[in-house]
Structure 1
Amino acid sequence: MPAQPAGAPSLPSLGGKKRSYRERVADALRAALIAGELLPGEVYSAPTLAARFGVSATPVREAMLDLAKEGLVDTMPNKGFRVTEVSEKQLDEYKHIRALIEIPTVVELARTADPVSLEALRPAAREIVQAAAAGDLIAYVEADTRFHLGLLALAGNTHLVEVVGDLRGRSRLYGLTALVKAGRLLASAEEHLELLDALLARDEHAVREVMTRHLGHVRGLWAAQ
């Protein structure tokens, strides 16, 4: 593996989960896509991305093919990969589906979730706040994904988690950079701690209110772009 250039995005830490190098590269590219560092409609070649991440072109090319299967990029013969563009209609549809799935699921967790398991999500919630305060979009997206999918996993439905994970990837969090500059991202980040407190208090009404507000903010992130 070539030495990583100064200032290049780092490959995500695996948190003890053993994954292939190709998967690690895919994770790093996916994070850059979600954070808006790779722009919709733009075409990127494997060698260009490899230089950016300080890796060889082969795992980048393989990882981008994986992302193409997820609908995140389109292959452009003899050119590279184009980041797929998402319409306003699609974003509204994604948000609607997420609301249908996530709000009732998380409200149910106010009755059923083990307090210890809920409290175990607090470090991720704090990481989201810290990343928002620092304007670190990659760290924000990684911690946010870990928190939300970890929370949904407490419902015990693996397929539900996969569906929401796919929706999050396809929609991406547009407009994060603008929200950082406007100082609005931190308020959304702090809702994760508010949600945890409501869950631990078994306050279903508060959980529903926070989840509804939070998903509304997510759509606001997309619209900000």
Structure 2
Amino acid sequence: MDISPDSTSSADIYDSLRDGLIWGRWKSGQRLKPQHLKDEFGCSTAALREALLRLAGEGFVENEKNHGFRAVEHSDETFQQAAHLRMVLECEAVELALKQGDFEWEMALNAAHHNLDYIEARMEQAEDVTPFVKRWSRQDWVFHSTLLGACNSDLLMRIYKSVYDTFRMCAVSRIEGFGFSQLTRREHRAIYDAAIARDLPVCIGAIRTHLALYRDDNRPIERPEQMERDKA
């Protein structure tokens, strides 16, 4: 198959755009202006369009006739579906990972959690978490993907990555603090501790708590600190 001259730069642009969409660099529904993006990436129109069309095919941006591209606007239903499917996949994968994970996996998980915990400790103390969101979003993925990586199923992990990215896009647009709360650090710690202890029921329970963002009746679940504010 022939490779176009812009193939490498288009792949780089795709990675940068997808990464930015996931951590909130571009908000839900925000127009992606070609000239601004070309200046930012220093790329050709062809390379940029190729990357945007690829993202449109994956459901991350919308291609509007005569209006160009914009970040996709996910509905509440899409968010609920992504949260549910992520929970299903994560619980399935972690069961395999806890059975098959070796000492190398434990060390990698320890390192991933240490890095994530460091960022989240800083975010807990910050009045504005925005400067941390990009690094936090990436480290959150490293932690969860490392946790599940020992499942030894490339197909499961590919599907999980797609669902995780959709979930994160929704979360950064719809949840205050880009999806981070004062409980997030403790939730990750609970998942980590249970995984290292190979305690599957506790680990699955911690994952469900971490991902329980919506009730069945479509109302956002109130985290404890939110309920305390409402009582005040």
TM-score normalized by the length of structure 2: 0.74
Unaligned ranges ≥5, structure 2:
1-6, 124-128, 222-232
- Per-residue CA deviation, residues 82-134 of structure 1 (Å, 9 max, x unaligned), is 21111111111122222222113213432331132132123332333333434
8 Å Cα contact 1:109/1:154 also seen in 2: yes
8 Å Cα contact 2:93/2:151 also seen in 1: yes
Partner of 1:142: 138
1:152-191 aligned at under 5 Å gives the runs: 152-176=148-172, 179-180=176-177, 184-191=180-187
SS of 2:184's partner is: helix
Amino acid corresponding to residue 146 of structure 1 in structure 2: V
Q: Distance in 1 between matches of 2:204 and 2:32?
A: 41
Partner of 1:200: 196
Q: Distance in 2 between matches of 1:189 and 1:37?
A: 23
SS of 1:120's partner is: helix
8 Å Cα contact 2:63/2:70 also seen in 1: yes
Higher mean alpha-carbon deviation, 78-87 vs 171-180, is at: 171-180
Between the aligned residues of both structures, percent identity stands at: 24
Partner of 2:49: 61
Higher Rg: 2
Q: Distance in 2 between matches of 1:70 and 1:32?
A: 15
- Per-residue CA deviation, residues 37-63 of structure 1 (Å, 9 max, x unaligned), is 212222222222233x34324333322
1:1-225 aligned at under 5 Å gives the runs: 20-51=8-39, 53-58=40-45, 59-132=47-120, 133-134=122-123, 135=129, 136-176=132-172, 179-180=176-177, 184-217=180-213
Q: 1:122 to 1:206 in 2, by over 3 A?
A: same
Unaligned ranges ≥5, structure 1:
1-18
TM-score normalized by the length of structure 1: 0.76
Equivalenced residues, count: 201
Q: 1:26 to 1:131 in 2, by over 3 A?
A: farther
The alignment's C-alpha RMSD in Å is 2.8
